[in-house]
């Protein structure tokens, strides 16, 4: 009898263990199904374009007060290049997801979100992490887009047009008949400035840009000058007194020129320092050169000459100084102008996540006219296959192993291995 009881107890234990194993297997399978992944553009270390990788990470999830967005398009800005180099104030520790702006559809809501519903078409601005298939952002930094606005236009409008609007109307106090000089006139902010300035009657817009861009942008500006020439003297030939507003994204020597060309009661506004980005990686020489080239600004001189100097940093305004409600009113005004057909983002090109290095290089070389965008669903460009020629002699084999002009050898082998790893990711 005791033996039968022991056998029965053992059967019960074995059955319980079997059920536990089955439940554990089902739970593990369920967890695997729910642990979705997303593709994202990640900076693995500060430096050149090789430090930017497309990786897979767990999908973003909204916490309280956040909105989860299925991203359709992302904006590329010069700030992203500076962040990649580490030439920006207080960057996060690597690795981190890059990008500051995106557009898409609301997919989920965190607790206590009241301004949005699932399916809303929106723009989001983030302090990094925007270049991903899903983005979770605080609802105070998310904006519903107009019905007729495409996701591409939406991703191209925030950073460039909010910056241009505040520079012209809130800081520059642009009025009828005034004149503006804007640097990097072929970029996203430069073209946004030109469009917004034309909403005020009688304004004149002068721009500087590399000569290869002149044909593409001359219709947007009253006059375009090669930045490498003495553009101050060229502008004075047209406007002897100078200009009313200077919008400078370069800094360095251009700061001195900008202040010098101001009319009485004129305003010089610095909103960038792209002159410090010269090579592929951060250059302390460029920083030092830019700082050294700037004259010391005397308040007494500004007082005597009736000139004003100001600065503007959009990301600081939003994320550090908590002026998001003010920025929302600017966004509302921009959407109104878009619906009226008075502004329209100029999009230079669109790129797949996997082609981000090529897109960044184009912006670094100042070859873009307008905005560059990333499209998460876009297929990458086909990469040319590298065919290694068989060496004809031991000498050629040694040269190949040493990494000659053809790019072979150890360096070339490392590149191929890296490429294979990236394909797996």
Q: How confident is the model at residue 251 (pLDDT cuts 50, 70, 90)?
A: confident
Residue whose C-alpha is closest to residue 121's, from 151, 100, 93:
151
As a whole number, mean pLDDT of residues 307-311 equals: 95
Q: How confident is the model at residue 241 (pLDDT cuts 50, 70, 90)?
A: very high
pLDDT digits (tens, 9 = 90+) for 390-408: 554 433 333 333 333 333 3
Q: How confident is the model at residue 139 (pLDDT cuts 50, 70, 90)?
A: very high
Three-state helix/strand/coil letters over the chain: CHHHHHHHHHHHHHHHHHHHHHHHHHHHHHHHHHCCEEEEEEECCCCCHHHEEEEEEECCCCCCCEEEEEEEEEEECHHHHHHHHCCCCCCCCCCEECCCEEEEEEEEECCCCCCCCCCCEEEEECCCCCCECEEEEEHHHEEECCCCCCHHHHHHHHHHHHHHHHHHHHHCCCCCCCEEEECCCCCHHHHHHHHHHCCCCCCEEEEEECHHHHHHHCCCCCEEEECCCCHHHHHHHHCCCCEEEEEECCCCHHHHHHHHCEEEEEEEEECCCHHHCCCCCCCHHHHHHHHHHCCCCCHHHHHHHCCEEEECCHHHHHHHCCCHHHHHHHHHHHHHHHHCCCCCCCEEEEECHHHHHHHHHHHHCCCCCCEEEECCCCCCCCCCCCCCCCCCCHHHHHHHHCCCCCCCHHHHHHHHHHHHHHHHC
Distance between CA atoms of 355 and 99, rounded to whole angstroms? 15
pLDDT of 341 higher than 80 = yes
With a pLDDT cut of 70, the percent of the chain lying above it is: 77
Kindly state the tokens that stand for 260. 């010098």
As a whole number, mean pLDDT of residues 91-116 equals: 96
pLDDT of 103 higher than 70 = yes
More confident residue, 366 or 75: 75
Predicted local confidence at residue 303, as pLDDT:
86
Q: How confident is the model at residue 387 (pLDDT cuts 50, 70, 90)?
A: low
Predicted local confidence at residue 11, as pLDDT:
47
With a pLDDT cut of 90, the percent of the chain lying above it is: 67
Predicted local confidence at residue 87, as pLDDT:
81
Q: How confident is the model at residue 90 (pLDDT cuts 50, 70, 90)?
A: confident
Predicted local confidence at residue 330, as pLDDT:
98
Rounded to a whole number of angstroms, the CA Rg of the chain reads 27
Predicted local confidence at residue 408, as pLDDT:
35
Distance between CA atoms of 414 and 425, rounded to whole angstroms? 17
Distance between CA atoms of 126 and 391, rounded to whole angstroms? 52
Predicted local confidence at residue 417, as pLDDT:
34
Residue whose C-alpha is closest to residue 378's, from 153, 159, 152:
152
**Beta strands 121-125 and 142-144: pairing type?**
antiparallel
Predicted local confidence at residue 413, as pLDDT:
33
More confident residue, 337 or 255: 337
pLDDT of 409 higher than 90 = no
Predicted local confidence at residue 49, as pLDDT:
92
- Inter-axis angle of helices 231-238 and 253-260, nearest 10: 20
Q: How confident is the model at residue 210 (pLDDT cuts 50, 70, 90)?
A: confident
Using a cut of 0.95, tell me whether the model's pTM lies above it: no
pLDDT digits (tens, 9 = 90+) for 356-384: 999 999 999 889 999 999 999 999 998 77
- For residue 338, the number of C-alpha atoms closer than 13 Å in the C-beta half-sphere is 24
Phi (first) and psi of residue 270, to 5 degrees = -95, 130
Predicted local confidence at residue 289, as pLDDT:
47
Tell me if 227 sits within 8 A of 185, measured CB to CB.
Answer: no
Average pLDDT, the chain: 83
Predicted local confidence at residue 281, as pLDDT:
54
More confident residue, 317 or 295: 317
In the chain the first and final C-alpha atoms are separated, in Å, by 62
Comparing 24-28, 162-166, 326-330, the range with the smallest average pLDDT is 24-28
pLDDT digits (tens, 9 = 90+) for 27-59: 444 444 456 899 999 999 999 999 999 999 999
Predicted local confidence at residue 1, as pLDDT:
46
Q: How many CB atoms lie within 10 A of CB 388?
A: 11
Predicted local confidence at residue 416, as pLDDT:
32
């Amino acid at each position: 009898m005791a033996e039968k009881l022991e056998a029965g107890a053992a059967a019960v234990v074995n059955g319980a263990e079997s059920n536990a194993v089955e439940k554990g297997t089902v739970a593990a399978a369920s967890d695997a199904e729910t642990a979705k992944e997303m593709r994202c553009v990640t900076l693995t270390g500060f430096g050149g374009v090789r430090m930017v990788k497309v990786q897979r990470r767990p999908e973003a999830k909204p916490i309280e007060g956040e909105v989860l967005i299925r991203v359709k398009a992302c904006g590329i800005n010069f700030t992203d290049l500076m962040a990649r180099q580490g030439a920006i104030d207080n960057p996060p520790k690597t690795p981190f997801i890059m990008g500051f702006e995106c557009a898409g559809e609301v997919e989920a809501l965190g607790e206590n979100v009241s301004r949005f519903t699932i399916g809303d078409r929106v723009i989001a601005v983030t302090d990094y992490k925007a270049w991903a298939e899903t983005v979770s952002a605080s609802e105070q930094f998310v904006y519903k887009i107009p019905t007729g606005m495409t996701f591409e236009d939406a991703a191209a409008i925030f950073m460039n047009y909010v910056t241009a609007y505040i520079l012209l109307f809130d800081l520059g106090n642009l009025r009828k008949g005034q004149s503006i000089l804007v640097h990097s006139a072929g970029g996203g902010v430069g073209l946004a400035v030109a469009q917004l300035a034309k909403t005020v009657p009688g304004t004149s817009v002068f721009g500087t840009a590399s000569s290869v861009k002149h044909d593409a942008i001359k219709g947007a500006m009253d006059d375009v000058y090669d930045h490498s020439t003495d553009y101050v003297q060229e502008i004075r030939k047209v406007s002897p007194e100078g200009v009313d507003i200077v919008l400078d994204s370069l800094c360095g020597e251009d700061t001195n020129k900008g202040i010098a060309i101001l009319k009485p009661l004129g305003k010089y506004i610095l909103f960038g320092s792209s002159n410090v980005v010269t090579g592929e990686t951060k250059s302390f020489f460029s920083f030092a050169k830019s700082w050294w080239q700037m004259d010391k600004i005397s308040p007494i001189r500004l007082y005597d000459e009736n000139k004003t100097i100001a600065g503007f940093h959009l990301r600081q305004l939003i994320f550090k100084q908590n002026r998001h409600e003010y920025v929302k009113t600017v966004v509302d005004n921009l959407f109104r102008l878009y619906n009226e057909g008075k502004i329209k983002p100029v999009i230079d090109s669109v790129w797949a996540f996997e082609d981000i290095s090529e897109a960044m290089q184009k912006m670094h070389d100042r070859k873009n006219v307008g905005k560059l965008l990333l499209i998460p669903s876009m297929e990458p460009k086909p990469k040319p296959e590298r065919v290694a020629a068989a060496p004809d002699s031991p000498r050629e084999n040694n040269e190949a192993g040493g990494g000659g002009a053809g790019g072979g050898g150890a360096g070339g082998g490392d590149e191929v291995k890296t490429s294979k790893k990236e394909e797996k990711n």
